[in-house]
């Protein structure tokens, strides 16, 4: 047999033993939830458990099937097989050819694993699994008991180990480089596209991977919660806001920072209130408190202010790898998830003013036994250029 050459710049981000540890923790949760197997399809969860980021699964789901007592099986599109082998740590991979083949092949694998009449968890509330996919599988396995397990993997992912925390620290170091570049490059006439180039150039020069740039908004475009980069320049006495995250081994260090070129009264009022609310949220964080209690601490500050309606979204969410995934822990009113040591959360307290402008700041924090450890070294004060 001809040996397969390694493909440059490929491979899972961590050693195989780390993925086996994660799979074991997930299977422990499978047992606690009285499931016989778990079918993982959310891209962020696939990367967490296998190393492969799921990018080829735009086509159809790429289920990773975990069953107690045996190695996991990946079901993927044949066209993507080389990429999955190169980027993941999974040894057993079964392929389907085209979209109409997915349900037959996946059902055959589930049947072969003895799951045709068992209780199987699916990520019904996450992205990357359509109702039609589940219906097709159920039609082929009518006795299989489909159970919603959308939050099972995310509950394991929420608590980080030392490898993950170190990756997030390194990612945040690159975020700080990016934010410094944003601040130092802010001048009249620079466009959002030019700013993005300046930021990414600074990160590359510092030896970092390309940063995940969620949003840059200048002037009137600071009224948008998320922006597409435009050739829109900032003018005197206009606000600016950036949301960005440095990357390391798939882990991200999210951060929001705001600035003003000159003076802008509405931005200055909103930002000061945002800092106060974020301080309250950070002070509330410790093991044993609920996600809802953290949200309440920040929300109370805003509701008692002169801008009581300024906060119209949740206070934060679980973060790491990926930045966010549907179904992950959310710091929102009434949330009952309990914070534990070594969780990481991003808290973007972005407020909206009477004229529609948005301004605020955020922190990504590590939950420790002593409270919240802020991972960024960039002050959250409003930057004035």
> Mean pLDDT throughout 18-46?
97
Residue 138 buriedness (CB in 10 A; 0-12 / 13-18 / 19+): middle
Average pLDDT of the residues in 248-272: 97
In angstroms, the first-to-last Cα distance of the chain is 64
Share of the chain above pLDDT 90, in %: 96
CATH class of 162-384: alpha beta
Q: What is the mean pLDDT of the chain?
A: 96
Please give the pLDDT value at position 55: 87
pLDDT of 247: 98
Are 276 and 301 in contact, with CB atoms under 8 Å apart? yes
Does the pLDDT value for residue 51 go beyond 60?
Answer: yes
Global pTM value: 0.95
pLDDT score at 59: 86
d(CA 208, CA 171): 8
- Please state, in angstroms and rounded to a whole number, the distance separating the CA atoms of residues 81 and 83: 5
Does residue 301 have a pLDDT over 60?
yes
Homologous superfamily in CATH for domain 16-157? Creatinase/prolidase N-terminal domain (3.40.350.10)
CA dist 68 and 76 (Å) reads 21
Bridge partners of 241, per DSSP, are 217, 258
Whether residue 3 has pLDDT greater than 70? no
Query: In this model, does residue 379 exceed pLDDT 50?
Result: yes
pLDDT at residue 2 is higher than 70: no
The widest CA-to-CA distance across the chain, in whole angstroms, is 73
User: What pLDDT shows up at residue 4?
Assistant: 62
Determine contact, residues 262/239, Cβ cutoff 8 Å: no
What are 179-217's pLDDT values in tens digits? 999 999 999 999 999 999 999 999 999 999 999 999 999
Confidence of residue 327 (pLDDT cuts 50, 70, 90): confident
pLDDT digits (tens, 9 = 90+) for 73-119: 999 999 999 999 999 999 999 999 999 999 999 999 999 999 999 99
Q: What is the pLDDT of residue 1?
A: 39
Q: What is the pLDDT of residue 6?
A: 85
Spatial CB neighbours of 131, under 8 Å, sequence gap ≥ 6: none
What are the structural domain ranges in the chain? 16-157, 162-384
């Amino acid at each position: 047999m001809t040996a397969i050459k390694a493909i440059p710049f490929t491979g899972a981000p961590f050693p195989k033993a780390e993925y086996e540890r994660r799979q074991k923790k997930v299977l422990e949760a499978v047992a606690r939830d009285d499931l016989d197997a778990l079918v993982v399809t959310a891209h962020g969860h696939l990367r967490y458990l296998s190393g492969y980021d799921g990018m080829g699964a735009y086509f159809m789901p790429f289920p990773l099937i975990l069953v107690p007592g045996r190695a996991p099986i990946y079901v993927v599109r044949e066209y993507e097989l080389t990429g999955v082998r190169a980027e993941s740590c999974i040894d057993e991979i079964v392929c389907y050819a085209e979209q109409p083949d997915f349900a037959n092949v996946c059902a055959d694998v589930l049947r072969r694993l003895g799951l045709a009449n068992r209780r199987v968890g699916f990520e019904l509330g996450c992205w990357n699994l359509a109702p039609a996919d589940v219906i097709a599988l159920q039609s082929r396995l009518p006795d299989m008991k489909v159970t919603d397990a959308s939050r099972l993997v995310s509950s394991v992912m929420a608590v980080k180990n030392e490898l993950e925390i170190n990756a997030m620290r390194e990612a945040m170091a690159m975020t700080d480089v990016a934010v410094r570049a944003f601040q130092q490059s802010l001048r009249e006439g620079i466009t959002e596209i030019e700013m993005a180039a300046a930021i990414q150039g600074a990160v590359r020069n510092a030896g970092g991977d390309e940063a995940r740039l969620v949003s840059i908004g200048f002037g009137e475009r600071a009224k948008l919660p998320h922006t597409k980069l435009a050739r829109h320049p900032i003018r005197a006495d206009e606000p600016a806001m950036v949301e960005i995250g440095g990357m390391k081994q798939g882990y991200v260090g999210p951060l929001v920072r705001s600035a003003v070129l000159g003076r802008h009264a509405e931005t200055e009022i909103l930002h000061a209130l945002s800092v106060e609310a974020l301080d309250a949220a950070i002070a509330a964080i410790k093991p044993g408190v609920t996600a809802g209690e953290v949200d309440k601490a920040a929300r109370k500050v805003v509701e008692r202010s002169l801008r009581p309606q300024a906060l119209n979204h949740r206070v934060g969410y679980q973060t790491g790898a990926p930045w966010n995934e549907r179904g992950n822990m959310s710091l929102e009113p009434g949330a009952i998830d309990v914070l534990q040591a070594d969780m990481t959360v991003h808290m973007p307290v972005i407020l909206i003013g009477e004229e529609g402008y948005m301004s605020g700041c955020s922190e990504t924090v590590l939950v420790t036994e002593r409270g919240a450890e802020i991972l960024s070294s960039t002050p959250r004060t409003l930057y004035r250029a």
